[in-house]
């Protein structure tokens, strides 16, 4: 509690004591009536004090809330900046990984382009259809046709479909396997 709140609380407690005194004054001689009048006058001064300082108390509370909001806003801006930095770092890593994968694919294509068609066909037969089709599509047409000529005809037809973009639906692909 703030000083003003404590003062208002003390004033209210003293007012309740004055009310008790006033009630006693009604039953006591006239000397107590004078004290009760003074207490009522004092009560109105306390009430005026509380009323006059209530807006200052509210202003102080609003200023405190504003400071808290500003602090939270600064913390939020810092967290956003940190997240943006992390996002930039992640993008850098993703691009580096994609570059590495692309180089790896290019190396695999270069290896298959220098292999004998029979050996390349055996290797591609062990690969998944989409990977084998990707490698074949990057080879020169002459090398790709020589390798496809060595692959089992149903598998060669599936690879040609995948290379052409005519991928079969899932149930048809399972039947083909």
- Which of 29-33, 73-77, 100-104, 115-119 shows the lowest per-residue confidence on average (mean pLDDT)? 29-33
Tell me, what's the pLDDT at 83?
A: 94
Q: Is the pTM of this model over 0.85?
A: no
**Whether the predicted pLDDT of 122 surpasses 90:** yes
Return the top range by mean pLDDT from 21-30, 87-96, 159-168.
87-96
Tell me, what's the pLDDT at 52?
A: 76
Tell me, what's the pLDDT at 35?
A: 54
CA-wise closest residue to 22 among 10, 40, 9: 40
Between CA 46 and CA 50 the distance in angstroms is: 6
DSSP string computed for 12-69: HHHHHHHHHHHHHHHHS-HHHHHHHHHHHHHHHHHHHHHHHHHHHHHHHHHHHHHHHH
Is residue 103 within 8 Å of residue 138, measured between CB atoms? no
């Amino acid at each position: 509690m703030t000083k003003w709140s404590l003062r208002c609380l003390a004033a209210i407690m003293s007012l309740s004591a004055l009310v008790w005194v006033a009630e006693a004054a009604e039953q006591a001689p006239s000397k107590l009536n004078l004290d009760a009048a003074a207490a009522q006058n004092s009560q109105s001064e306390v009430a005026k004090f509380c009323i006059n300082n209530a807006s200052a108390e509210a202003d102080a509370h609003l200023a405190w809330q504003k400071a808290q909001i500003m602090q939270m806003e600064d913390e939020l801006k810092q967290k956003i900046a940190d997240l943006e930095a992390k996002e930039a770092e992640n993008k850098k890593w993703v691009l580096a990984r994609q570059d590495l994968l692309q180089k790896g694919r290019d190396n695999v294509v270069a290896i298959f382009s220098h292999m004998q068609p029979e050996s390349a066909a055996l290797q591609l037969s062990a690969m998944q259809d989409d990977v084998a089709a990707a490698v074949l599509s990057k080879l020169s047409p002459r090398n790709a046709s020589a390798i496809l000529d060595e692959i089992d005809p149903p598998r060669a037809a599936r690879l040609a479909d995948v290379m052409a973009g005519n991928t079969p639906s899932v149930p048809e692909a399972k039947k083909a396997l």
